[in-house]
Amino acid sequence: MKRKIILGIVIVLFFGLTACSVDINISTDDKKPDVIDNGNNQEEGDNKQYENDAFKEVTVSKSNGKVMVKGKARVFEGVFQYAVISGTEILLEDHYQTDGAPAWGSFEITIEMELLTKEEVSIELFVYSAKDGSKTDILTIPLK
């Protein structure tokens, strides 16, 4: 009788845990971002939207000595990282918390213009892979 009860518990636990498992597929493709030009450009970069599988409707605007990067992200647990870079030099790196997937969470990142004194400065939005720590879903946007 004890064996039947223990076997029953093992079966229930096995199938219960199997049913609760989650399969998360994170793309490691380094695709070029889609750029959508809405026209009426007053300055380079105005009205352009950048997107990939994890980020969409990302825009860049400049005013009052600041650069605003706004958009939506659909990332695991709502956490993604960003880095302001010039060539291979990282000028700033931080993370952002928004709504978790499957929702598209809005974000707004403010960067001081003083950081953009170097040539060819861009911002990378990305996620660190839970599997191996590599950057995934990278969206690179030129700031200067």
pLDDT of residue 101: 87
Question: What's the confidence (pLDDT) of residue 22?
Answer: 40
55, 73 contact by CB (below 8 A): yes
pLDDT score recorded for residue 2: 58
Position 80 scores a pLDDT of 97
Query: Quick one: DSSP state of residue 2?
Result: H
Q: What is the mean pLDDT of each run of 10 residues along the chain (144 residues)?
A: 57 50 43 49 62 96 94 95 94 94 95 90 95 95 90
The pLDDT score that the predictor gives to residue 111 is 95
Task: Assess contact for 68 and 53: CB atoms under 8 A.
Answer: no
Q: In the prediction, which pLDDT does 16 show?
A: 53
One DSSP character per residue, 11-36 reads: HHHHHHHHHH----------PPPEEE
Name the 3-class secondary structure at 144.
coil
pTM: 0.69
pLDDT of res. 9: 63
Q: What's the N-to-C CA distance of the chain in angstroms?
A: 74
